A and B are shown apart, each in its own frame.
Chain A
Amino acid sequence: MRDQLLKIKKEASEDIKKASNAIELDNVRVKYLGKKGSLTAILRGMGSLDSEERPVIGKLANEIRSEIEELINEALESVKERERHEKLKSEIIDISMPGRIKNRGARHPLTIVLDEIKEIFTGMGFLVVEGPEVELDYYNFEAMNIPKNHPARDVQDTFYINDEVLLRTQTSPMQARYMEKNKPPIRIIVPGRVYRSDTPDASHSPVFTQIEGLVVDDGITMGNLKGTLDIFARKLFGEDTKTKFRPHHFNFTEPSAELDVSCSVCKGAGCSVCKGTGWVEILGCGMVHPKVLEFCKIDHRKYSGFAFGVGLERVAMIKYGINDIRLFYENDIRFLNQF
């Protein structure tokens, strides 16, 4: 009996090894453990054993039964594992096919650069304020120390609405408007559209965008002007950007300067953007003219300030290497979707 049992165990484990799928394993189970299975038959024949042998053989038979069951279960598990693996292996897709992109949409490049500039200055405690584009001659010129018949008015060809009203040629009038209503400390930037009577070409546009900056407080120095604009230039064009302040003239600042930055495209080596010089001019700036402060009833003996005006299109052209200002206003989607 014992030998028979051991033989069954051996045969069963061999059958299990041979079985390659769940059905075959089930057949093995039926063959040995089913109602008509060989192990079941032995258990049934136990009655013929004597009382001493019966518990020993019974125990052995039960052990073998559970061993076989375990082996079958294990085999079943590994078969399933293999089948799952094979199924996954067969579920291959072509990952090189194009992805489905939702319609992208994008901000206009001028908005992108303006947002960046706003972020730089608001981070330094500046407020963003806006003003009228259809402006009084008084604010656009007179309050900016450009009296009637001053030759400086020729430089800015102005669109007039009537004798007193014009399309602002600069965002500077907001300096006066803001200073009339707010007392120092003042720290603002003023983005907005400005207008000049220039026929559109690759570098001129009758409508364009400026960002004015104004800081007025007790003890503001020209060193502060340089320091603030250094930070601006580095944040906008990259940490390695160099700056160069050149003397210039504006009626509403004294001293006045123009700021050149090292060309961000060629890193100063010389390219078409900087016309080979390694430098590009990005803004005009200076210390607020005492007459402008006076116009706005701010005591120029107590307070001083600086102001600057950046051409947004120009900055965006330099930053992205755009060679024609008209592209900004044509809104060709093949242009817009590059940003």
Chain B
Amino acid sequence: MLVPLKWLNEYVKIDDIDPQEFADRMTMSGSKVEEVIETGKEIENVVTGRIVKIEKHPNAEKLVVCQMDVGSETIQIITGADNVREGQIVPVALHGSKLPGGVKIKRGKLRGLESNGMLCSAAELGLGEYVPNAAAGIYILPEDTKVGVDIKDVLNLGNAVIDFEITSNRPDCLSMIGMAREASVTFNRPLSIPEIHVKENGQDVNDFIDVEIKAKDLCTRYGVRIVRNVKIEESPDWMKERLKDAGVRPINNIVDITNYVMLEYGQPLHAFDYDKISGKKIIVRRAKDGENLKTLDGKDRKLDNSMLVIADPEKPLVVAGVMGGEDSEVTEKSSNILFETANFNGTSVRLTSKKLGFRTEASSRFEKGIDPNIALDALNRAAELVVELKAGEVVSGVVDNYDNELRPWTVDISPDRINRFLGTDIPKDKMVSILESLKIDVVDKDKDVMKAVIPTFRADIELEEDIAEEIARIYGYNNIESTRIKGEALEGGLNREQKIEGIARDILTGSGLYETITYSIVSPDDFDKINIPKNSALRNTITILNPLGRDLSIMRTTLIPSMLEVIARNYSKKIESAGFFELGRVYWPLDDKISKLPEEKNMLVIGMYGDCDFYDIKGCIELLLQSLGIRKYEFKRESDNATFHPGKTAKLEVKRKNIGIVGEIHPDIIERFDIPKHVYICELDFDEIVSLSELDKHFKPLPKYPSIERDMALLVDRNIMASEIEDIIREKGGNLIESIKLFDVYEGKQIPEGKKSIAYSIIYRSDCRTLKDDEVNKVHDSIIKSVESNLGAQLRL
């Protein structure tokens, strides 16, 4: 909220305080400052000037040459605007001047003639929002404006305005008076709210209007005043200046008065053209289903029974608290006005404005809640201003329907408890004086438990803790001593899963992979992009009702598309080769009636491209599994997964459970992602890995007896898998096998077509005796025989 300090100074004297210091201290007492603004700060060296003479530019049809009296001298300036006339006073940006948006004005030549600056439009001075047709031509100033003075003085710029962030619990601060209250407490200075005196014309308001509230649940208070013989005109400068500084565009005196009072008191007011109200009667009622109203913005609004309207006996006039109707709008032709002050139910206003799809300043204020007890003050203040501005005559009396008056309530407070809660030692007297400065009365001051009497504008205070906050913020959060938590020592730390995640990250980064983090909300188009079959369970997703767009509309069920995108992005940045991994969740819809929530599973995806092949990614997985104590695992051929290359893909099984897939991404998919390289990806169920991992280490004595090494090179059909050979080696070698190492695979020259050469080095060892050559030879021979007879292998010599 924008608070002009000049305005605030009317209620609490603060004009001796530097704006920045004011802002800092207000922030520390609970009114957070977003920005300290000086209006027109960007304008430099712009003065008022009189147009002495206008001549046509000899070389350009659309330009004119103006001789400008700028006080100290007469200078020549060229302009293209067509609304300038001799004798007018306009803003002149001199040579070396600055305008909003970082614009710098310099002397120069326009079509051969010198121009010593620029004549400015209102828009160029940053007043676009406040002056009608601000960009249409040069800003013509009133005739009596002095020549040669700083434009900031003329336009009342250079004011300090503070932009406060008002939190949702403090709607009372959305007003000058509310902020003045805070300033008065913060700086310990008296608050003075001027008394309101309305000069009335002696006629009785009841002769003009009758008010009936039919929906009392949605409207707690409704008040009305009548103003006659209205003269619609511009507001005086002081009011326009304050409105502008507070970010509101001046319209005319009546509209400006309603806005001014709203800013001052926080109470939205509405002005009706009285003569458009039929039957001298206002009815506050629910709209009928299907009822129509054309609102101020010219749109037809379809209303329903949940919405509140202000109506006359014939028709709805206003969507209550949201927006006025076009028909009863105050215009230049209006001669009698009805001012409304009201207190509408916040939730109802909120739902109505949500349904209608727009919010207004008034609706957002009603939503947040307004003290019903300020309604009448605001109405009277508006009437007072009408008289002050000579905008009309005020009919005597108000109609005020307010059945259930809201009264102050009390909260029990114990200074002892508050001190224990805050960790402070604030004396009781100090607490009382802080509360009283906040207009919270304290009774039973001599008792251990006192009563705080909460003013009705502080709907946020219900509990002792709320009072504790009031005391703490005024006492100063930074005056509360920082202390350490006392109490028993607690067993903190990471759990098993978190530790395993850490180890996995160590292993994977140690393997040269970079960790990635991608959005968990993705596009449903991802499935087609990676060839997921139409009937796949992966397509059964959690879908967001109100997504930002299709691309971010479902919760992912696989991490593979995100990984492909990361790879594609890096490839497009000319990174020739890289490897990545991501540990992240996928989300499976679960028809669990109890939790109603999906299953969130942790998955690990690894992706690499460029300088690598299948065995690199497989090696990464094996290293990870072994590091996590998973020694028995099996890679089985997988040729039916449409995301992957049918011949270069395996599924990973541990204890007969499928825990993931690894392979080369199908070439069609790679093409879709614009990656002209082989890409290898694995996706593993990380929750399974965690549950299978065995972190306890047991020492095994180092071998006491020597080992014997034997090599063998075999010629086999090329489709024989290494695992088939290894299975036989293990089967025949039994517990004499210490390790099997594949050290060469070869196809090509000297090898018959359709065959490959595959060579192993086998280490034999016993842990209870020294093996003899004979014994090992026997075993080794039996292995060879077995691979020959079972796999049709031939020993290469």
Contacts and interface: CB of A to CB of B under 8 A. Distances in A.
Interface of A: 102-108, 110-111, 115, 118, 121-128, 132-136, 149-152, 155, 159-162, 164-165, 167, 185, 187, 193, 195, 197, 199, 206-207, 215, 217-224, 226-228, 230, 244-249, 251, 254-258, 287, 289-290, 304, 328-334, 336-337
B519 interface: yes
Contacts of B569: 330-332
Given A125-B492, A127-B490, A222-B477, 7 more contacts: A103-B513, A108-B514, A118-B494, A164-B596, A226-B483, A287-B468, A331-B516
Contacts of A108: 514-517
A280 B749 CA distance: 69
What 3 pairs across the A-B complex have the smallest Cβ distances? A103-B512, A223-B423, A221-B423
Given A111-B505, A224-B483, A227-B483, A161 B520 contact: no
B360 interface: no
Nearest to A105: B509
Contact of A224 (B423, B469, B509): B423
Contacts of B509: 104-107
Contact of B521 (A122, A195, A199): A195
Nearest to B470: A255
Given A118-B494, A185-B487, A199-B548, A223 B422 contact: yes
A219 B477 contact: no
Contacts of B368: 151
A159 B544 CA distance: 6
A128 B494 contact: yes
A159 B546 contact: yes
Given A107-B509, A122-B493, A185-B490, A149 B482 contact: no
Contacts of A224: 423, 483-486
A255 B474 CA distance: 12
Contacts of A149: 347, 350-351
12 contacts: A105-B510, A106-B515, A111-B505, A125-B490, A133-B600, A160-B546, A227-B485, A255-B465, A255-B472, A331-B516, A331-B580, A333-B580
B282 interface: no
Nearest to A209: B517
B28 A247 contact: yes
Contact of A221 (B420, B489, B513, B544): B420
A152, A164, A224, A254: which has the most chain B beta carbons within 10 Å?
A254
A290 B482 contact: no
Interface stretch (B166-174, B216-224, B376-384, B448-456): B166-174
Interface in B478-511: 478, 480-495, 498, 502, 505, 508-511
Contacts of A160: 544-546
Interface stretch (B93-101, B570-578, B699-707): B570-578
B195 to A, nearest CB: 32
Contacts of B543: 161
A207 B556 CA distance: 13
A336 B516 contact: yes
B4 interface: no
Nearest to B483: A223
A221 B422 contact: yes
B566 interface: yes
A257 B516 contact: no
Contacts of B494: 118, 122, 128
A221 B483 contact: yes
B441 to A, nearest CB: 21
Nearest to A337: B514
Contacts of A334: 573, 575
B517 A223 contact: no
Given A108-B516, A247-B28, A248-B32, A256 B546 contact: no
Interface of B: 27-30, 32, 167-170, 346-347, 350-351, 367-368, 420-424, 463, 465-466, 468-469, 472-473, 477-478, 480-495, 498, 502, 505, 508-521, 542-548, 552, 555, 566, 569-570, 573, 575, 578-580, 585, 587, 596-598, 600
A301 B545 CA distance: 41
Contacts of A128: 493-495, 498
B486 A219 contact: yes
B687 to A, nearest CB: 12
A150 to B, nearest CB: 8
A124 B492 CA distance: 7
Contacts, number: 237
A254 B30 contact: no
Contact of A135 (B516, B517, B570, B597): B597
A105 B423 contact: no
Contacts of A199: 548
B469 A223 contact: no
B492 A227 contact: no
Contacts of A121: 492
A277 to B, nearest CB: 10
A122 B490 CA distance: 10
Contacts of B485: 124, 187, 215, 217, 220, 224, 227-228
Given A134-B587, A289-B465, A304-B421, A222 B32 contact: no
A105 B350 contact: no
Nearest to A335: B514
B515 A107 contact: yes
A152 B169 CA distance: 9
B469 A256 contact: yes
B463 A102 contact: no
Contacts of A257: 477
Given A132-B600, A161-B542, A105 B579 contact: yes
Contacts of A247: 28-30, 32, 469, 472-473, 477
B472 A206 contact: no
A220 to B, nearest CB: 7
Given A151-B350, A159-B546, A185-B490, A249 B482 contact: no
A155 B573 contact: no
Contacts of A134: 542, 555, 587, 597-598, 600
B514 A222 contact: no
A220 B494 CA distance: 24
Contacts of B481: 223, 226
Contacts of B548: 197, 199, 206
A219 B491 CA distance: 19
A132 B480 contact: no
Given A227-B482, A246-B28, A185 B492 contact: no
B404 to A, nearest CB: 21
Contacts of B472: 222, 247, 255
Nearest to B464: A290
A333 B567 CA distance: 10
A238 to B, nearest CB: 17
Nearest to A230: B482
Contacts of B423: 221-224
A332 B547 CA distance: 26
Contact of A125 (B350, B480, B489): B489
A203 to B, nearest CB: 15
A246 B168 contact: no
A199 B484 CA distance: 40
B424 A254 contact: no
Nearest to A215: B485
A222 B421 contact: yes
A294 to B, nearest CB: 11
A245 B569 CA distance: 42
Contacts of A255: 422, 465, 468-469, 472-473, 477
Contact of B482 (A151, A220, A226): A226
B490 A104 contact: no
A299 to B, nearest CB: 14
Contacts of B555: 134, 167
B492 A187 contact: yes
A179 to B, nearest CB: 15
B463 A106 contact: no
A290 B32 contact: no
Given A254-B463, A254-B466, A155 B168 contact: yes
A329 B514 contact: no
